[in-house]
Amino acid sequence: MSACDCTYEGSLTPASESLDSFETRRARYRSQFSVGGISVGMTGQSVADVELGGGLEPFRSEGVSDIEIGVERVAYLDSGAGWKLFDSGSTWRLYECNSSLQFDFLAAVLGELPVKRLLIDHRFRRARLQLNEMGAAILGRAIEPLSYPLDELLIMHRLTQEKAIELHACGIVTGDGIGNLFVGHSGAGKSTTTRLWTAREGVEVLSDDRIIVRAIEADSKALCGIRMYGTPWHGEAMYASPRSSPVRRIFILEHGQGNTLTLLSTNRAVAELFARGFVPFHCHEYVESALDFLQQLVGTIPCYRYVFEPTEAAVEAVLNLHD
């Protein structure tokens, strides 16, 4: 992986400019949100520059941020230059560029020209977000700073610096505070599981599609628990809570006959969870970090394969489980 020199046209600030120096510019407006224990602060010259959008609004927060983003509107953004690390094929690309990473977000009508560009340091702490005014004119609408997939990519990449991972899962908290995490690919039954559990009084759903799981450390850096967090990126049932809960058990969902729970070995549990995780595969260090955390996770929380039928009995099988 090699660095590159980046050149831009129009009113764009050169990529070689320090992210720190950009952040110190005087900004009139600021907002902040928190997802999965990661707080993101945004500063800009207008209210629109720091707008969170409807999905992130329930996750609005205050205090010290883990990631600080300076937002600026530029007349024009050229096509990406540099060492291409990843191409989604449609909505975004990632480049290695000087001392920062460059995420370019695309729209079909603009071809190779990005709608917006995020320049961020390799530790995912400081960034600047550039919004393409020419692109907005062509699109005929304002560019939302944090519109998907930027928000999720930002959090997902920052999680690589933590003992944490985003999983394709629904998080269910029972009335007595027990947190159950149901993990599954699309179509495995997450939305069905959510509907079955919400029929019971006092049940809270953190998310019906994507959950962040992270280790919580004490001041002494000793591990004191595993928590799951709701995210804004919901599924069909549209549950997206900013709340969190300790995790008691993990279930790998599969449709099938009966309601069969099988405790998985450590290696099998890690493999099953990794296959359902959101991990930036373009960097082997990120992959290794995710695998290390999953090893820690399944060493702390029991993980079951759950072959279930979509009936009330599926809920009873979990409630009656004794580890």
Which residues on neighbouring strands pair with residue 215, listed in sequence order? 226
- Kindly report, residue by residue over 207-226, the tens digit of the pLDDT: 999 999 999 876 545 456 99
- Which pair of tokens denotes residue 254? 């599969």
pLDDT for position 312 = 94
Query: Residue 319, class by beta-carbon neighbours within 10 Å (0-12 exposed, 13-18 middle, 19+ buried)?
Result: exposed
Query: Residue 201, class by beta-carbon neighbours within 10 Å (0-12 exposed, 13-18 middle, 19+ buried)?
Result: exposed
Helix (H) or strand (E) holding 316: helix 312-319
End-to-end alpha-carbon separation of the chain, Å?
Answer: 46
Average pLDDT value for residue range 300-320: 96
pLDDT for position 97 = 85
Domain with CATH 3.40.50 in the chain: 162-319
Question: Which CATH code for domain 162-319?
Answer: 3.40.50
Average pLDDT value for residue range 259-270: 97
Average pLDDT value for residue range 176-182: 95
CA distance 73 to 51: 14
Question: In this structure, which amino acid lies at residue 294?
Answer: L
CA distance 171 to 107: 33
pLDDT for position 219 = 54
**Res 6 pLDDT > 70:** no
pLDDT for position 224 = 63
Q: How confident is the model at residue 240 (pLDDT cuts 50, 70, 90)?
A: very high
pLDDT for position 4 = 34
Using DSSP's 3-state secondary structure scheme, residue 151 falls into helix
pLDDT for position 1 = 35
Query: Does residue 149 have a cis peptide bond before it, meaning omega lies within 30 degrees of 0?
Result: yes
The model scores a pTM over 0.75: yes
